A = this chain, B = another copy of it.
Amino acid sequence: MSNSADVKYVYLFSEVKQAEDLVGGDWDKVRGLLGGKGANLADMTRLGVPVPPGYTVTTVACNAYLKAGEKFPPGMWEQALEAVKSIEKDTGKVFGDPKNPLLVSCRSGAKFSMPGMMDTILNIGLNDEVVEGMIKLTNDARFVYDLYRRLVQMFGSVVMEVPDEVFEAVLTAARKKAGVKTDAELTAAAWQDVTAKFKELFKSYTGIDFPTDPNEQLRLATEAVFKSWNGKRAIDYRNASKIAHDLGTAVNIQTMVFGNMGDSSSTGVAMSRNAATGENELEGDYLENAQGEDVVAGIRQTDPISALKKRAPKIYKEFADISRKLELHYRNMQDMEFTIEQGKLWLLQTRDAKRTAAAEVKIAADMVAEGLITKEEAVKRVKPDQVDFFLHPQLDSKAVKDAQEVARGLNVSPGAAVGVVALDADLAERWAKGEGKPVIMVRPETKPDDVHGMLAAQGIVTCRGGRTSHAALVARQFGKPAVVGIEELELDLDAREMRVGDLVIKEGDWVSIDGTNGIVYLGKLETVVPDISNPDLLKVLSWADEFRTLEVWANADYPVDAKRAREYGAQGIGLCRTEHMFFESERLPIVQRMIMSKAHSDKVEAISELLPFQRSDFEGLFRAMEGHPVVIRLLDPPLHEFLPGHNDLVEELADLKIKLQHAHDMSEIDSMLEQIRIKQDYLTRVEALKEENPMLGTRGVRLGILLPDLIKMQVRAIFEAAIACLKDGVKIKPKVMIPLISHVNELRTMRDILEAEAKKVIEENNNIKVDYEFGTMIEIPRAALTADAVAQVAQFFSFGTNDLTQTTFGISRDDAERGFLVEYQQQGILDDNPFGSLDGDGVGKLMGIAAELGRKTNPKLDLGICGEHGGDPKSIHICHKLGLNYVSCSPFRVPIARLAAAHAAMADKK
């Protein structure tokens, strides 16, 4: 290590090159050395952007200071004083000189933005003499005393830890004395008094006089920043965010500029593009003769940035050029803070701007067209969640503009919901289910007892709770828009109303919630579904397709779904659930007859009646998919699902028996008895089919083995449909899939049945050649663990991760998502709901075992996923890493999956 006295601890903003050289040109290391803010200010300075001059004390200095028991490392302070001299030279002002005083700010700046660190101290360099001098210079005693009292206040509270409340008490007293309501109405004399009082306070709390020496102020402020690195809040935050404790913070000292020095001064914020729409136009607000905090506080009506164009076209042009320059440099839309001090434009900060999903997509597409970023960058920039925005209802932005905002809270579950307020779960359910009213359920917080109301409601609002509160978790689980933790919201359950300040909303009144942004509005606002065919979105998605290696297929049961899936970019059907077709009104009675029949011949006859239906279903799918693969899963659900419910039957029987008592003639009695007999038969069958744990019961392949005739019928329907297509010259790629196997022998049995029946159908049709594949779902741990054996029979695996998650975790989704899974997430036992996002450590590991074993047997084994996870970005990432060939998801989530698959491939390349 070099002699620490030789170490350069202080860098002027203009010395960025030297910092870069020190760390070998690595910008990440520059940020490590100068902190994020310091590096950014230096970077802007190098670009020639007008930044108020200043310097940065490095993180190395901070660490040395802390290590040495809160002592500056040798040479550091001297370097800092040198830097002040340099600033004086640049600005022509002198630190502590009443005739032309230099004032500076002091801010912390670690490598990563970090709450809990020391905030800003402004106006360093003021003391009684400098104040006198400045009043002469500005001729504005009120302005100068306001600066002075701010310095004393900030110095007291931030550096010396005097409770801010005592300063606030003085301000309140001063307003009262002056008989005014706001600080803005206080006179110069009043501010002078306040400043004097603040100094007294300072002395009585700290035991020392307020330091009048500007260098002493600077030194104390610098030390305060260093010390704040080891403050409790900062340490807690680093622990929670897994940020290393040895990074240290830098200190940024920067010349003060003032937007409130007359009419040629102003201050504002602006974005380089429109954050709502993405239009390429400077957008923002500013205030003449004002300070930054006035813009934020919203007390005065701001002017749009376009007004500057008229009033000061030259400055506007300079600003627009800078904006463009920054966009070019950072290759992203910028969010800039600026101040104009007596006609001179200064940039105080720039950063990548926040924007809506719509804007993100448009900007990404535009910037590629402008040559600013590559397609790859454009794809990376759009988040899958932002694509989701295009698929779900949102509040209409026009309606929102005129709507009254009730309150803001945490945006824990996205989307819009509109309904009448219900203040408890029972009422929410009664109104929603009983009267068909859309309901927004509002509660102080939610508990497991409230889940039935939450499920019935359109959306959820709570007064308490954070991102992992019960309400937030359940809302996300079930896709209900929700705003939680609105602290100013008061519920009065006696009066059956809710209040925010003076606003009173009665139970039953309409409200609209924007879960995407965490806002509640009054009234019944219009909602819109953003357009998935947005050309910019289509562009970004088509670029995504160039980068991804995973194919994206869709789960679709009907030709209409298949068509939509194709429009959204699906490359195949990964799951056609044949049983859904059994529930249609003309078919269900036949299915029931099949289940109820006692004689084998009756059963077979009923099954054969289903054949034409299934054949035409499959033919439609094949035609819609035009040669793309179609995975048809043979019958999966347990038989009882096709029969009436047990309780319904018991009630119907009881009713019939009562009616029988009031029958009038023999024919009526006979008819009643016949009905009772039929219902009784159903009840007997339903009871016989009843299982302790239906999730683990007689369904999937187990049913197929017990009912081979049904399998034969389905196979026949598939092959007859295939042959009908082939005869018409329609290309087809059928894949037959067996669900729920746990042992390869189950699959063997099914294959034998299938091959025999397929052979028959083919022979009946002049031996037309039908290419097909035979495969299985992997949704039971045992199937995954013995995948090497299974792959001897299966040509493809499709991971059914819903059931695989249930069996691997040993949990029943129906029960758990409303029960202990929520508790688990609240207690932090699980990070995610494993049904929402694939559990990589457990379920993912098992999938990896299956993939490896399967491919050991058959390197060409086709691997996919058809559980709901197939549409979840995090899960898609895992699927990519596991080397799957495709993910299959709901048609609506196909665009999200396309993007997520591209992201996964890109991350993998890195």
Chain B residues with CB below 8 A from A743, complex form: 829-830, 842
Interface size on A, residues (CB 8 A): 50
In contact, B839 and A782 (Cβ under 8 angstroms) = yes
Overall SS of chain A's interface: helix
B-contacting residues, A732-759, CB 8 Å? 740, 742-743, 745-746, 749
In contact, A841 and B789 (Cβ under 8 angstroms) = yes
Contact of A461 with B by CB under 8 A: no
Alpha-carbon distance between A829 and B829 when the two chains are bound, in angstroms: 39
Known: A693-B693, A820-B705. A742 touches B782 (CB 8 A): no
> What 0/1 readout, one digit per residue, does chain A (704-726) give for beta carbons within 8 Å of chain B?
01100000000000000000000
- Can you name the residue of chain B whose Cβ is closest to the Cβ of A853? B845
Which of B782, B803, B806, B829 contacts A705 (CB under 8 A)?
A: B829
Chain B residues with CB below 8 A from A803, complex form: 810
Chain B residues with CB below 8 A from A830, complex form: 743, 745
Known: A781-B808, A781-B810. A742 touches B786 (CB 8 A): no
> What 0/1 readout, one digit per residue, does chain A (748-791) give for beta carbons within 8 Å of chain B?
01000000000000000000000000000001111001100100
Contact of A697 with B by CB under 8 A: yes
- Can you name the residue of chain B whose Cβ is closest to the Cβ of A779? B810
The segment out of A124-132, A167-175, A811-819, A892-900 that lies at the interface is: A811-819
Which of B780, B816, B845 contacts A785 (CB under 8 A)?
A: B845
In contact, A782 and B843 (Cβ under 8 angstroms) = yes
In contact, A695 and B698 (Cβ under 8 angstroms) = no
In contact, B824 and A705 (Cβ under 8 angstroms) = yes
Chain B residues with CB below 8 A from A785, complex form: 808, 841-842, 845-846
Closest chain-B Cβ to A647's Cβ sits at a distance in Å of: 11
> Chain copies in the assembly?
2
Contact of A648 with B by CB under 8 A: no
- Can you name the residue of chain B whose Cβ is closest to the Cβ of A830? B743
In contact, B810 and A842 (Cβ under 8 angstroms) = no
In contact, A696 and B829 (Cβ under 8 angstroms) = no
Alpha-carbon distance between A513 and B705 when the two chains are bound, in angstroms: 34
Closest chain-B Cβ to A451's Cβ sits at a distance in Å of: 11
Chain B residues with CB below 8 A from A829, complex form: 705, 743, 745-746, 749
Chain B residues with CB below 8 A from A749, complex form: 827, 829
Alpha-carbon distance between A740 and B811 when the two chains are bound, in angstroms: 10
B-contacting residues, A824-852, CB 8 Å? 824, 827-830, 839, 841-843, 845-846, 849
In contact, A814 and B692 (Cβ under 8 angstroms) = yes
B-contacting residues, A394-442, CB 8 Å? none
Contact of A146 with B by CB under 8 A: no
In contact, A812 and B697 (Cβ under 8 angstroms) = yes
Contact of A205 with B by CB under 8 A: no
Contact of A27 with B by CB under 8 A: no
In contact, B812 and A691 (Cβ under 8 angstroms) = yes
In contact, B780 and A809 (Cβ under 8 angstroms) = yes
Chain B residues with CB below 8 A from A812, complex form: 691-693, 695-697
Chain B residues with CB below 8 A from A705, complex form: 820, 823-824, 827, 829
Contact of A694 with B by CB under 8 A: yes
In contact, A841 and B780 (Cβ under 8 angstroms) = no
> What 0/1 readout, one digit per residue, does chain A (297-313) give for beta carbons within 8 Å of chain B?
00000000000000000
Closest chain-B Cβ to A78's Cβ sits at a distance in Å of: 51
Contact of A608 with B by CB under 8 A: no
Q: Which of A697, A740, A786, A828 has the most CB of B within 10 A?
A: A697
Closest chain-B Cβ to A674's Cβ sits at a distance in Å of: 25
- Can you name the residue of chain B whose Cβ is closest to the Cβ of A811? B696
Chain B residues with CB below 8 A from A698, complex form: 815, 819-820
Alpha-carbon distance between A824 and B746 when the two chains are bound, in angstroms: 9
Chain B residues with CB below 8 A from A694, complex form: 692-693
Contact of A192 with B by CB under 8 A: no
Contact of A702 with B by CB under 8 A: yes
> What 0/1 readout, one digit per residue, does chain A (792-822) give for beta carbons within 8 Å of chain B?
0000000000010011111110111001100
In contact, B695 and A692 (Cβ under 8 angstroms) = yes
In contact, B781 and A815 (Cβ under 8 angstroms) = no
Q: List 13 A-B contacts (CB under 8 A).
A: A697-B815, A698-B820, A705-B827, A705-B829, A740-B810, A749-B827, A749-B829, A781-B809, A781-B810, A785-B808, A785-B846, A786-B842, A786-B845
Q: Would you list the 6 A-B pairs with minimal beta carbon distance, nearest first?
A: A693-B812, A782-B842, A780-B810, A696-B812, A781-B781, A745-B829
Known: A705-B824, A743-B842, A781-B846. 8 other contacts (CB 8 A): A696-B815, A697-B811, A697-B816, A782-B808, A782-B839, A785-B808, A786-B845, A789-B841
